[in-house]
Amino acid sequence: MAEINTTILPKRKKKVKKSVKRGQAHIQATYNNTIVSICDQNGNVLATSSAGMCGFKGPKKSTPYAASIIVKNVVEKIKETGMSEVEVFLKGVGSGREGAVRALHANGLNVLSIKDETPIPHNGCRPPKIRRV
């Protein structure tokens, strides 16, 4: 006969829902993808989404339409926190940059500031040596 396992599992603590009024939206828009993360003022990520998570494939991932769907998805995730104001930090040169910022405003978040954090090389890499044939 089979033995019955009578071990009791420890109870998990209930997940505490944070009440955040003001936060940060980090948007990374590359040529291939767009990633949006919403954080609190300390930088703790509350929700994140990307074009691949929303079901986009291939070249459609970096479009402004995909960016608006991504933002809609993220805003749904943070509804219960009560966030109403965001500071936007943009990174990259993709076409989803502006679409994502517009979508943040359209989905009920008040955009306080927009800061561009795109990395810029101050001299760049050393070029390859000249090819001799």
Residue 108, pLDDT > 70, answer yes
Chain segment 28-67, per-residue pLDDT in tens: 999 999 999 999 999 999 999 999 999 999 999 999 999 9
Across all residues in the chain, what is the average pLDDT? 91
Residue-level pLDDT at 14: 74
Give CA–CA dist 36/61, Å, rounded: 13
Residue 129, pLDDT > 70, answer yes
Of the candidates 101, 96, 18, 88, the one whose C-alpha atom is nearest the C-alpha of residue 52 is 96
Over range 90-116, report the average pLDDT. 94
> Which pLDDT band, with edges at 50, 70 and 90, does 1 fall under?
low
Give CA–CA dist 28/51, Å, rounded: 11
Instruction: Tell me the pTM.
Output: 0.80
